[in-house]
A and B are shown apart, each in its own frame.
Chain A
Amino acid sequence: MTSSDTAPEESSPLLSVANLVVEYAIGGGTVHAVSDVSFTLARGETLGLVGESGCGKSTLARAIVRLCRAKSGRVVFAGVDLATLAGHRLRAMRRRLQIIFQNPIASLNPRRRVGDIVAEPLVVAGIGDKEERERRVRGALSAVGLEPELTLARYAHEFSGGQCQRICIARALILEPELIVCDEPVSSLDVSIRAQIINLLEAMKARYGLTLLFIAHDLAIVKAVSDRVAVMYLGKLCEVAPTEDIYAEPAHPYTAMLLEAIPRPDPGAPVAAGIPVGEPPSPTAPPSGCRFRTRCPRAAARCSEEEPPLREVATGRVVACHFPLLAVSQTLGRGRTSGQADF
């Protein structure tokens, strides 16, 4: 991790989040939305971030693009600590990182024409004259599969949810950013349209060399786009691993539970059993020790007394659990020897 202002070398991560803490004060309490989260994102990589509603994943997304202030910790983007920036230097940096939200219709101003909405980032950044901007807007709309002639002069309500998300993606792309934070970009869309948008994001990533932080609560969608997956529970990361590994052998009981809950398009498949009843506890009063212990089938006394740190259990895999599932399945099957869990 470098904090210098110089251009980073190829090997250093594009984004590194270190010990990030975000808290909100609400009537009579504090919401511990993001608690000591650290991860890195390499240039050109897609990191999937998964967790249930209220786990803090959207807050994390907003803190990364500085839409909300962190209490402590650092967000270093391309070698620059974003917290140190303000004014025009922050605005200049924001051109390089963009965000796409869950509700595409609500993200578009209903009273402005699509052409103006997509051009807005250029106007704010002071890029190009009118002709130049229109040329770029047409290019971005074409890139996301919309016909500029039929789109520019119309309003958001004339488009379907999937088309509105294409417009949002065009707006995010127009400044040619390096990182796009996608906060549940397909959760509000039909299954059929979801696949279109996922394919579009993948194509845009390849075409523009993007780095993506892809946030979702649906592990099946995340698998389709991610190189690595981070699982978040009640403000904390509980597991980070390469995509293939985490789906083949989840190490954290919470990851296993999320995988179990995915409905399968097969009536013969057993309907998810073993999902602990209940929902995450309130982030205003997270449980002591491991925050997942109140829903965990493997919880023991130690889990309430001692918070499990994130530790490496295999190459590139970290898990925060006293009793991870991985060590068991490893000795049974794969015979991976490095970094065995230490109990």
Chain B
Amino acid sequence: MPARPPDRPATSSRETLLVIEDVRVELPTPRGILRAVDGVSLSLGPGRTLGLVGESGSGKSMLSRAIAQLLPRKARLSGRVLFAGEDLTRLGAEPLRRLRGKSIAFVFQDPMTSLNPVLTVGSQIAETLTEHLALDWRAARERAVELLAAVGIPSPEQRLKHYPHQFSGGMRQRVAIAIALSCEPRLLIADEPTTALDVTVQAQILDLLAREQRRRHMALILITHDLSVAAGRTDEVAVMYAGRIVERAPTGALFRAMRMPYTEALIAAIPDLQSAPHTPLRAISGLPPDPTRLGPGCAFAPRCRHADAACHRDRPPMRAAEDGDHHYSCWHPLPARAGVA
């Protein structure tokens, strides 16, 4: 089934829910073809969490949209997205509509823009339920109260009648999660769900997602630019750069020994609480490449301390580390035990 059998992680020998094979997304822009996603393959089992990590513009959100076939109209998609054995790229509009929101649900970064400002929260939850589960209005309302209570919203009965602007950012994200969970999805894609929130609320929202995932045995893709968010909350991490996955490993293995210099640089850029004040941070120099002007070599080479001529000329293939579940794409990988403790 997958294109590259030797590369398959051990976890996929168990049941898989989602298999992505060589997915590419190209967007025509005035500046040329933008390769938002450039040949990504992944798999994810039920009840598992994948952290999809990368900077703005690395293609992580576009990849998540490609999974649900929610791409901009002009986008060109190739490759296969197998969800529960069915290739979503071949599905018609109507079956896709039934699938989205029901089997595959999303939580986005900014709940203020993903919720409808002129509808009460109750009617937005109930809409999903009546639409996908064919509940009548009364049953939908009861279920909505349960859902709001489940995501930790106090006095859910009263809150049903409130509009999104009457909630704080954290509470609004809880509402968005309640809507996402309402039809018991098998896959939840959370796209930077806590980036707009305070650290205290972030911890609560991530706890909530983890708890509901365990309870529902749901697969979860947690998209973030912050590796420290992924560290404690995922089974596996895939690091994206310029539309490609450059390193992928079980979370523990990745943090023990990251092989790709980009992954190490992402970790090193996080301020260390052990360092004295005014210790200079280890920033990644430069900017991510222009996705319409990608060269033939490794896209990270212009910012990489280890890069040589070969890195600029030839793109490194994805290869397996000694530990078979760990894959990386680099000509000059870091030594196996060089990870940040």
Contacts and interface: CB of A to CB of B under 8 A. Distances in A.
Q: Do A and B bind each other?
A: yes
Interface of A: 52-54, 160-163, 190-196, 198-199, 202, 217-221, 223-227, 243-244, 247, 257-259, 261-272, 275, 277, 279
| Most A Cβ at <10 Å: residue of B199, B232, B282 | B199
A163 B266 CA distance: 18
Contacts, number: 142
A261 B232 contact: no
A337 B206 CA distance: 41
A217 B203 CA distance: 13
B114 interface: no
A266 B277 contact: no
10 A-B pairs with the lowest CB-CB distances in the bound complex, closest first: A195-B283, A195-B281, A265-B228, A271-B232, A195-B269, A196-B283, A263-B228, A192-B284, A261-B199, A272-B203
A277 B153 CA distance: 10
A202 B273 contact: no
Contact of A263 (B169, B225, B229, B282): B229
A53 B202 CA distance: 12
A266 B231 contact: yes
24 contacts: A53-B198, A190-B56, A191-B226, A192-B225, A196-B285, A198-B281, A199-B281, A199-B283, A217-B199, A220-B270, A221-B271, A224-B281, A243-B277, A244-B277, A262-B199, A264-B231, A264-B273, A265-B228, A265-B267, A266-B232, A269-B232, A277-B204, A279-B170, A279-B200
Contacts of A257: 200
Nearest to A216: B199
A220 B265 contact: no
B233 interface: yes
Given A224-B275, A265-B231, A269-B231, A192 B200 contact: no
B161 to A, nearest CB: 18
B280 A202 contact: yes
| Most B Cβ at <10 Å: residue of A191, A244, A247, A262 | A191
Nearest to A217: B198
Contacts of B233: 271
Interface string B281-296: 1111101000000000
Q: Give the size category of B's interface with A.
A: 35 or more
Nearest to B276: A244
B202 A160 contact: no
Given A53-B198, A192-B266, A194-B269, A162 B281 contact: no
Nearest to B277: A243
B50 to A, nearest CB: 14
Contacts of B279: 224
B208 to A, nearest CB: 10
B277 A192 contact: no
A307 B271 CA distance: 35
B273 A195 contact: no
Contacts of B171: 279
Contacts of A53: 168-169, 197-198
A219 B170 CA distance: 19
A217 B194 CA distance: 13
B282 A195 contact: yes
Interface string B49-73: 0000001100000000000000000
Interface in B168-192: 168-171
B201 A191 contact: no
A262 B281 contact: no
A264 B56 contact: no
Interface string B251-282: 11001000000000111011111011111111
Contacts of A199: 280-281, 283
Nearest to B270: A265
Contacts of A259: 273
Contacts of A226: 277
A313 B137 CA distance: 59
Contacts of A243: 277
Contact of A265 (B203, B276, B278, B340): B340
Nearest to B285: A196
A239 B284 CA distance: 34
Nearest to A145: B285
Contacts of A279: 168, 170-171, 200-201
A191 B283 CA distance: 9
